[in-house]
Chain A
Amino acid sequence: AQRVTQPEKLLSVFKGAPVELKCNYSYSGSPELFWYVQYSRQRLQLLLRHISRESIKGFTADLNKGETSFHLKKPFAQEEDSAMYYCAPRENGNKLVFGAGTILRVKS
């Protein structure tokens, strides 16, 4: 079965420290991959999609087809980065398959 795994439920780092949120997927072919973020009391919003190769709010994510990973990285975490992060491959049509999510807590 196709699936996506985010192994960490909670990641706690200090402000200014590097951050890496892990995402592994098991899919045939080359799915399109996304990272979504949900800040406290806000709606789910797109952070990154791999085909655009943009850097949003200092975050980047590289698709590693060999390791089937799409880890989210930021060199220096900020307190405002504290949120829930979801990795989501897109299957046929618009079906997003969300991982369980990782809570990022940035401590001052």
Chain B
Amino acid sequence: KAGVTQTPRYLIKTRGQQVTLSCSPISGHRSVSWYQQTPGQGLQFLFEYFSETQRNKGNFPGRFSGRQFSNSRSEMNVSTLELGDSALYLCASSLNTDTQYFGPGTRLTVL
């Protein structure tokens, strides 16, 4: 089975721009979660989607949003980028509430 894939792997943006990251889960998995990883804050939960509905949300501002499509692929969007949004963004997929399998991440740099 193919693992979780994320595109793009690297991204450079400037302050004020917006960005969309994509995550393709393992085939058959219906849950996709997103995490932000930074040296200062570590790994923090952003949100989770299950069957196209947001099931859970972390403590991030409304500039961070996401969605899930009928094929379970998910996107997250960050609007009005700030320097502090520079991070590794990880997505993880699972069947439901069980083991989560992580993707390689998208490295976002905001200049």
Q: Do the beta carbons of B42 and A94 come within 8 Å of each other?
A: no
Q: Which of B1-40 contact A (CB under 8 A)?
A: 3-4, 31, 33, 35
Identify the stretch in A10-18, A42-50, A61-69, A75-83 within 8 Å (CB) of chain B at 4 or more residues: A42-50
* A93 touching B42 in the complex, CB below 8 Å, given contacts A44-B90, A46-B99: no
* A43 touching B56 in the complex, CB below 8 Å, given contacts A86-B43, A96-B100, A98-B43: no
In the bound assembly, the distance between CA atoms of A92 and B44 in angstroms comes to: 15
Number of cross-chain contacts by CB at 8 Å: 54
Tell me whether chain B's interface is mostly helix, strand or loop, or mixed: strand
In the bound assembly, the distance between CA atoms of A49 and B99 in angstroms comes to: 8
Tell me whether chain A's interface is mostly helix, strand or loop, or mixed: loop
In the bound assembly, the distance between CA atoms of A98 and B56 in angstroms comes to: 16
Q: Do the beta carbons of A95 and B99 come within 8 Å of each other?
A: no
Identify the stretch in B69-77, B78-86, B101-109 within 8 Å (CB) of chain A at 4 or more residues: B101-109
* A43 touching B103 in the complex, CB below 8 Å, given contacts A94-B94, A95-B58: yes
The contact of B42 among A45, A46, A91, A100, by CB within 8 Å, is A100
Interface size on A, residues (CB 8 A): 18
* A93 touching B99 in the complex, CB below 8 Å, given contacts A100-B42, A101-B42: no
Residue B50, interface by CB 8 Å: yes
- CB-CB nearest 9 A-B residue pairs: A98-B43, A93-B56, A44-B102, A93-B55, A94-B48, A95-B45, A95-B56, A43-B102, A43-B104
Chain A contacts to B: CB under 8 angstroms = 43-46, 49, 86, 90-101
